[in-house]
Each structure stands twice: as C-alpha cells, then as structure tokens.
Amino acid sequence: MNKKKNRSDVVYSTNPDFVYETEETIETLEPSKQQLRVQLDKKQRGGKKVTLVTGFVGSKSDLNELSKKLKLVCGVGGSEKEGEILIQGDFRARVIEQLLKNGYTKTKQIGG
C-alpha cells in the first residue's frame, strides 16, 4: 500500500526529521448518542435563512451522508462546513422530524 496517497497539501520537505501526520480518524457516535441542535440562522448570509444542524460527532463521510439525506427530504440544496450541516431555507420542523425518524433521539431545536 502506498503511504503517500493520503498526503495532501505537502509538496516537499527538506527537513530530515519531518514526519507527516495524517488526520485522525474520528469514530462516529451512534445516532442515539448524538446531541444535535437545529436552529435558524441568518447571520452573514445576506438576509437569507438557513437551517443549521450542529453537534455532529463523527467522520466527514458520515456527516456528508446525513446531509444528503436531509437535503433530499427537504428538496433543497445545502452544504457541510466545519462539522455543521447547512440546509437552504427554514426547514427546522422537517429536519427535526427526519432526524428523530433516523434515531437521533437527543435532537433539540434552539430558538423560536
């Protein structure tokens, strides 16, 4: 197996003691142990509303998979940034309903 395949953002190092550190793999908590928070956010978005899901503990691939499910259910776009899921528009009720169906029992809504 090629050890250099997982190296990103490193071109070359002249330091003979240089040791490349790979990202730590984060183990994804099971849905019933996740403490997700759902809120409406308008800050720094030009007045546009986004449903923000925070508190996810796990790998980027699992976050991406959950994000895809939520975007599909809501029928809108969105993204994942820094461990948060952004869903375009105000879909708090629908997102919470879907999370509860998928076993995320500790999900709470923040704000009105």
Domain CATH code at residue 58 = 3.30.780.10
Tell me, what's the pLDDT at 27? 86
Structure token pair of residue 78: 């969105």
100 assigned to some structural domain: yes
Model pLDDT for residues 28-77, shown as the tens digit of each residue = 889 999 999 999 998 888 889 999 999 999 989 999 999 999 999 999 99
Structure token pair of residue 91: 């879909």
Total count of domains within the chain: 1
Range of the domain at 48: 31-109
Residue 17: CB atoms within 10 Å: 5
Structure token pair of residue 71: 């975007």
Model pLDDT for residues 15-35, shown as the tens digit of each residue = 888 777 666 667 888 999 999
3 assigned to some structural domain: no
Q: Structure pTM? A: 0.76
8 assigned to some structural domain: no
